[in-house]
Amino acid sequence: MILFFKLPPNDIFDKVILKVLSSYFLNSKLNQIIQINLQLLQQHVYTISKTCALLGIKHAVICPGSRSAPLVYAFTQEKNITCYSIIDERSAAYIALGMAQQLQEPVVLICTSGTASLNFYPAIAEAFYQKIPLIILTADRPPELLNQQDGQMVKQKNVFGGHVLASFELENYFHGKENIKETSTIISNGINISNGIVKGPVHINVPLSEPLYPTKENKFESLSVREFESAIQTIKQANFQTFNKAWFESKKKIILIGQYPVDNNLFTQLFELNKHQDVVILCDVLSNKQSVCTAPHFDFTISQCSEKTLSELEPDMLITFGGPVLSKSLKLWLKKQKPKYHFRIQPKKELVDTYKNVTDYIDANPSIVLTNLPENLKENTFSDFKNLWKKIDELASVKIKSFLERNNNSSELHAMEIIINNLPDAINLQISNSSSIRYISLIGNLNPSWTVSGNRGTSGIDGCASTAVGAAIINNKPTIFITGDLSFLYDRNALWNNHVPDNLRIIIFNNFGGGIFQLIDGPSSHKKQLSYFTTPHQQSVKNTAIDNGLDYYFCASQNDLSKTLKEFLDPNKKAAVLELKFDRNENAKIFKQFKKIKLI
């Protein structure tokens, strides 16, 4: 019997025989002997961690599990990579996203086999649309155990579909026949794709056979640095001539910037163009370009101006770049327009045409396009276009301030204004989705010294807290996370780990259940079905904070909010939660009054 299993040294024959024998003797001790003798802990797993380190990856978020043990062992032994253990896969993925969001470079995300990988999906979709680089390593059963009623098994190959830039699967090598070069090529290729001109998540599935736990120190074969050098990617020729011609012809230009990371080169170009009277720059709340925004209250302005005024604000040249734009009123307004020129600037073949009126597309980095404007086109041109926008924005600012001064007892909008005005300089501001980010967009006036981030790639509430935790781990600056009660409670596992840093502060607007649905027209006009949109609850924010070792603050009156914030934001204290409570019905009433304000 023993002689029967002495296999000849032939790779293909080895695999075929092993698959047949493993399937036949699936539950027998004999199969365990085969696995142990032919599939010892694969050395190529160490190639994965070493390649990641050599290509500059510094952080790995690891979810506990058994099948992933070889990956855990390899990464925790890699001295140049800091590892974080997060028990909840969904939360872990968002924490990794928050880290990569701050770094703008790949972070590794590791899980065991089975549904663990599926729990990564929401954050991966967010990373895909936000263009955040992630390397997802999912441990898997070996091929012969797939669909054989073995535990913790789902179809993991290409499991994330179109929500990753690329998907790879490593070979399940026989012991002693690991192909280090092949493994390093796949890993380095994945990292290069993830961290390319257009960043995003890349999935690498890693089948692993038992035994999963090494019994002695494993040595890694050193690799040539040349094998890991990334290929230099070049930007294709862009249609600068057409762009420059349109710029020269147009007297009313709007540059609209969506969600965007901090970019000093781009800021320099925008700063110069902002001096022009025929150029209006509109910056999304997550654009990180607030200091060059012509009209910080554009979200409010567009929704409250008359049709006549809106027609005067229309551009003849629209230039858009960056990620999604939050303002619904702005998006609806732009969709009605047919500008003579609409240049979409993005280094990607897949054209983004949100407003269905793009006339030209330039495959390039925005700063390069703006830098290539000839000097004679950068000269100031006489126009009242910017002055009109600024005049209306100043009026909007006065009316917003006046309204909030009259309604200062129970309004979430007013509380948000107090918070925005009392946050210190140079913070990292993380904003949750739903009403929180909409309030901030309407109020405007974000401090230009802040770095502002959020999950607007897919705009879900499910991982906002975890993303903030990940950002705070990486960013040593005070990290302030502003959120609603549902978003916080839904993702409370973000705090269920040993890595929550002292620089994190969480401000929670608690209206006890989805108050945004009483602010928007659709659900609020159907009272009978409103309970199916809102989510009333009696969950305790205080208990969640205390259970996870965070300091807890509560402010009962908005008159005391400024004072409470001063103590809450003390940088010498540990991570903390500040809870503010509101009545949904009263808040909805005040917000509807706010939306009735009219501009010219």
* Structural domain boundaries in the chain: 39-211, 240-382, 407-594
CA–CA distance, 175 with 350 (Å, rounded to integer): 43
Is the distance from CB of 78 to CB of 52 less than 8 angstroms? yes
pTM of the model: 0.80
The CB density around residue 271, as the number of other CB atoms within 10 Å, is: 13
Residue range 407-594 forms a domain whose CATH class is alpha beta
Closest CA to 588 of 524, 508, 512: 524
- End-to-end Cα, the chain, rounded Å: 92
Give Dmax (Cα) for the chain: 93
Predicted local confidence at residue 409, as pLDDT: 66
C-alpha neighbours within 13 Å on the C-beta side of residue 527: 1
In this structure, the chain runs to a length of: 600
CA–CA distance, 107 with 58 (Å, rounded to integer): 7
Predicted local confidence at residue 25, as pLDDT: 33
Predicted local confidence at residue 413, as pLDDT: 93
485-509 as b/e: b if 16+ CB within 10 A? bbbbbbbbbbbebeebeebbbbbbb
Fold of 240-382: Rossmann fold (3.40.50)
Alpha-carbon distances of 414 from 400, 405, 479, 512, rounded to whole Å? 10, 8, 22, 18
Say which CATH superfamily domain 39-211 falls into.
Thiamin diphosphate (ThDP)-binding fold, Pyr/PP domains (3.40.50.970)
Structure tokens at 53: 């380190």
Closest CA to 137 of 203, 183, 78: 203
The CB density around residue 336, as the number of other CB atoms within 10 Å, is: 10
CA–CA distance, 242 with 415 (Å, rounded to integer): 47
**Three-state SS string across 110-176, please?**
EECCCHHHHCCHHHHHHHHHHCCCEEEEEEECCHHHCCCCCCCCCCCCCCCHHHCCEEEECCCCCCC
Strand order in the sheet with 341-345: 279-283, 253-257, 317-321, 341-345, 360-362
The CB density around residue 438, as the number of other CB atoms within 10 Å, is: 22
Side chain identity, residue 439: Y
* Enclosing H/E stretch for 483: strand 479-484
Structure tokens at 292: 């060059």
Is the distance from CB of 494 to CB of 122 less than 8 angstroms? no
Query: 296, exposed or middle or buried, with CB in 10 Å at 0-12, 13-18, 19+?
Result: buried
Residue partners of 343: CB distance under 8 A and separation at least 6: 243, 246, 317, 318, 319, 320, 358, 359, 360, 361, 362
Residue partners of 67: CB distance under 8 A and separation at least 6: 112, 113, 114, 139, 140, 141, 152, 208, 212
CA–CA distance, 166 with 264 (Å, rounded to integer): 29
CA–CA distance, 435 with 564 (Å, rounded to integer): 22
Predicted local confidence at residue 45, as pLDDT: 84
Closest CA to 131 of 323, 276, 269: 323
Alpha-carbon distances of 386 from 36, 133, 196, 294, rounded to whole Å? 73, 37, 36, 8
428-431 and 479-484: which strand pairing?
parallel
Asked whether this chain's domains 240-382 and 407-594 adopt the same fold, the reply is yes
Per-residue model confidence as pLDDT tens for the chain (600 residues): 333 333 333 333 333 333 333 333 333 333 333 233 333 456 678 889 999 999 999 999 998 887 888 898 889 889 999 999 988 899 999 999 999 999 999 999 999 888 888 999 999 999 999 999 999 999 888 776 665 455 566 778 889 999 999 999 988 876 667 778 888 889 999 999 999 989 999 999 998 877 765 555 444 444 444 443 332 232 233 478 889 889 999 999 999 999 999 999 899 999 999 989 999 999 999 999 999 999 999 999 999 999 999 999 999 999 999 999 999 999 999 999 999 999 999 887 677 888 888 888 888 889 988 988 877 666 666 789 999 999 999 999 999 999 988 866 678 999 999 999 999 999 999 999 989 999 999 999 899 999 999 999 888 888 999 999 999 999 989 999 999 999 999 899 999 999 999 999 999 999 888 777 667 665 555 565 556 557 788 899 999 999 999 999 999 888 889 999 999 999 999 999 999 999 888 888 898 899 899 988
